[in-house]
A and B are shown apart, each in its own frame.
Chain A
Amino acid sequence: MAEPKIDLKNLKAGGFIKERGKDLFTVRLRVPGGRMSVDRLSKIAAVAQKYGKGYVHLSVRQSIELININFADFDAVVAELGEEQQKVASCGARVRVPTACGGCEYNPNGLVDTQKSALEVDQKLFGTATGHHKFKVGFAGCPFDCPKSATNDVGFQGAVWPKLDADGCISCGLCAKSCTEGALSMGADNKPVFDAAKCIYCGDCIKVCPTSAWSAEKKGYTVRIGGKWGRRPLIGTLFATFVPEERVVDFIACVLTWYQEKAEGAGRVRLGDIIIREGWQSLLERLRSEFPQYVVQETIAPHVIQNQVPLPGQQA
């Protein structure tokens, strides 16, 4: 038998996608959280220059895709990228590369370190086989939620719980005016009154207060589960609040175990559809047993987005 031209081990991790043209493939490189060093970027550019046809593509989930790569060059591409620093990104029924916005490090709106979370999830869970379908995780730094966290299987959104030091307040009224949720109003004593039920944990009051009378009592992630996009979109729903950054990996692992168990034999079905089938109570109870202090009392099933043709009640 002839020597195989390429090392098939490199294919197993996924990240090699067949293109239309004969012998041509896309090599998807993972970029957790969408951040990479300029050195790596330069190296990728050099490899793309040498083996591609003049372009790369930035995937919608922040990966870099080397396009128009001849399969005969796989080994050389992998070797020149330095497999250790630049693993290819997975395809198939696995935990995908987490996405994240810039988060709090340099973005003035960010409340938590989304970049750190994305890296940690990438290191510990990336590539884990689900047995059923793909599994996406995303991190947003605050409730503006630019990364659309609720469209992920597990979506995290930075959150902060505000606390008032009334003595430090100079009664300017800015916090009440800035709270778009109507959770703050100015009381008879000219100090803000907080309506906890309306608060979405955005931290705008903390940011706007000129005297720092508002501060963060606690920080963490609001977690929504069961989202996906594609042909039959679902929006994930609320399962937990203020999950600390250091518990993120354990939390995802718990959801993953439930999914692996409950989807047994169901074939290629995403987490959200399994939640609808099994009932949200089952997942909520499982999570509550491990994370009692963060999991909400009750939730609702993932929202079905009725945007597909034919619309309900209409015949095509």
Chain B
Amino acid sequence: MQTIDLRGVTCPTNFVMAKLELEDIEAGTTIEFLLDDGEPVKNVPRSLKDEGHKLLALQEKDEYYVLTLEKGED
């Protein structure tokens, strides 16, 4: 599974980068994003869900989160 590290990237750039990554993969594919604690983890998952992707898991690690999602249909 592909893992995209968005740690150290602030809002809303992290969301835009995630969106661009998702454009390059097939619908139904699972992908992981690493997100900083704080604003990024509060905003990015919700915004991606609003774009029609399916959130599978969001797990807390040391000072960051791993978001696993399945790309939705366009």
Give me the interface of A with B, judged by CB distance under 8 Å.
170, 172-174, 178, 207-212
Bound complex: CA A107 to CA B41 (Å)? 20
Q: Of the 9-residue stretches B2-10, B12-20, B23-31, B52-60, which lies at the interface with chain A?
A: B52-60
Contacts of A172 in B (CB 8 A): 45, 57-60, 65
Give me the interface of B with A, judged by CB distance under 8 Å.
41-42, 45-46, 49, 55-60, 65, 67
Q: Majority SS of interface residues in chain A?
A: loop
Contacts of B49 in A (CB 8 A): 210-212
Bound complex: CA A209 to CA B49 (Å)? 10
The 9 nearest A-B residue pairs measured at CB: A210-B45, A172-B58, A208-B42, A210-B55, A210-B46, A211-B55, A170-B57, A210-B58, A210-B49
The reply to whether A170 and B56 form a contact with Cβ atoms under 8 Å apart is yes
Q: Are A170 and B42 also in contact (CB < 8 A) when A210-B49, A211-B49, A212-B49 are?
A: no
Bound complex: CA A210 to CA B60 (Å)? 14
Contacts of A212 in B (CB 8 A): 49
10 contacts between A and B (CB under 8 A): A170-B55, A172-B59, A172-B60, A174-B58, A208-B42, A209-B46, A210-B45, A210-B49, A210-B55, A211-B49
Bound complex: CA A234 to CA B55 (Å)? 48
Bound complex: CA A26 to CA B19 (Å)? 54
Contacts of A173 in B (CB 8 A): 60
